[in-house]
Chains A and B, each alone.
Chain A
């Protein structure tokens, strides 16, 4: 654990440089530049708001557009850093075959890159909050922790996915499909409260209801999105009950994923 941290510290400049490369490269010859980063959540927000006007989705006392935007921010960050992380090793074949540095730098850098885009989205979120005249509460201090947790969740998939993707490119192709499915299994379009009411209060699935809810919250994104909305919009602390199952899963899977990545790492250059 300590050596990992030391390694990361030793290579911090390289990671910063590679992240800077990724960002600059993406927007270098684009007229709209970094504005493209916010286009995705904003478009999705508009679409979901439009959909919501046809099908009623209970959003509580928070305006739906900002609620869905606050859900889309961690979601898009998670989704993009995961898929970029998974393809990052294969995408850097030229470097892998010619220079050695710890290979986990690639997935980690992908996540760091996406962090910058997330930062830009915070500006939009602030704008929306001003528009809807919402004041952030003290609980907003939770945000860094929530983001850190999201990073760990993304890395859990990115490490193992990136390693397998070197051997079988199927992973890179299957991941976008799986992730878009996961979006519907996460409280992005609908708030978590809806699931909670259905399962915990109304016991809609009979005796299975509690188990089903735990299963739902095994998805770390369920807890993350809800917590993000809580601390930013609702001004209340995160619902830890919704976060614990996912957090336990990440705590178990992340080390395994990392170990698998490190074991596979030495063959990357031969196989890729």
Chain B
């Protein structure tokens, strides 16, 4: 986890450099054989030395990261920093070797992940010293000119292997294969739904798994689970909710008493998942519903954005309680999730109006409260949520309306992020092309292959804490700056 930002910065810098190269040389680049690219890559590095120096000069803070890159092309003069970088590289390589080794022992060789690692030539020490995500973004940035410069580090390689559904995956349970497809096809949407789906898939895995003789159940299970989750991660990056749920499960897996029989262990693990779902999700939702209910008064006009399962539940509960309020649903392209929300609320009988985010400043005047869902709450109090949420919060702040973010504590993350670029997810840019207008001559579609046109579809954004009045969690209504305090409590509980 701690490595992530570092490598991100690395990737960013690399992307900048290579992006410029591409423009200078105007050379068509080949994705499939990385080996062929290898010598070219070093020459690129030499060519850009000047640029590198410049960057170094400008970004003194990033100096260290940069030098690990510079180091790879040649051993010239060994400065202090370079020595340091070298040491770090060695350590990293050792670690890599270790993990590779363990993988080889634990897993069947035909695994797709392993084969992908094998694809990378071992004579490239530069590439080998870094983690997989960097490799991906690195490769991707060199190949696709249709990517937006600023967020190049976020692109992932479309993995053709995984997208064809016929392929038989050894070591990956069919439930996970299906789940991966559902994630990537956006059949399962929303961080709560995704976390629930993951947990239920793990449950199936627990039931189905057969430990080979002479293997300890938990260890074997851990290995299998790792390969499954790696596959899922390839389909779509984990949501924070999923990461947290998985971490809690793994913690339990590690701390299980080895003297139990396999079936007992199974029972314990299943029980753990049940309680996790019950306590951290279902009960949390009920508690949040109650807390928000107290804040909804008769005559309120509540503005919501997108389609959050939790918000829907809250509104339906409040309506059941006999509160008289109306709802403004603000929606945005391309997913238009708000329509589903509108349908469900209208079916329940709640008075709704529907607006597109463009008209936000007009409808905000009528609202009395803003309710927002969240993807994750970060340690600095920022709220990570569906793209557009920050805009809604900003406009609400401008109109002095209270903004309530509803978020279960299992979505709290110890990450810190101040902008939406460091970590984000990129959706399918083609979604923007499909506007259902009456005329077929859609300018975006006709210009689709234009090299000058880069479409960016980011999925999340980060709302700074000063735009949020309060966060409603199952523990209490809190200011969003007290995320660290809650995380401390949760960490304390887990350690017991």
The answer to whether A and B come from one shared complex is no
List residues of A whose CB falls within 8 A of some B CB: none
List residues of B whose CB falls within 8 A of some A CB: none
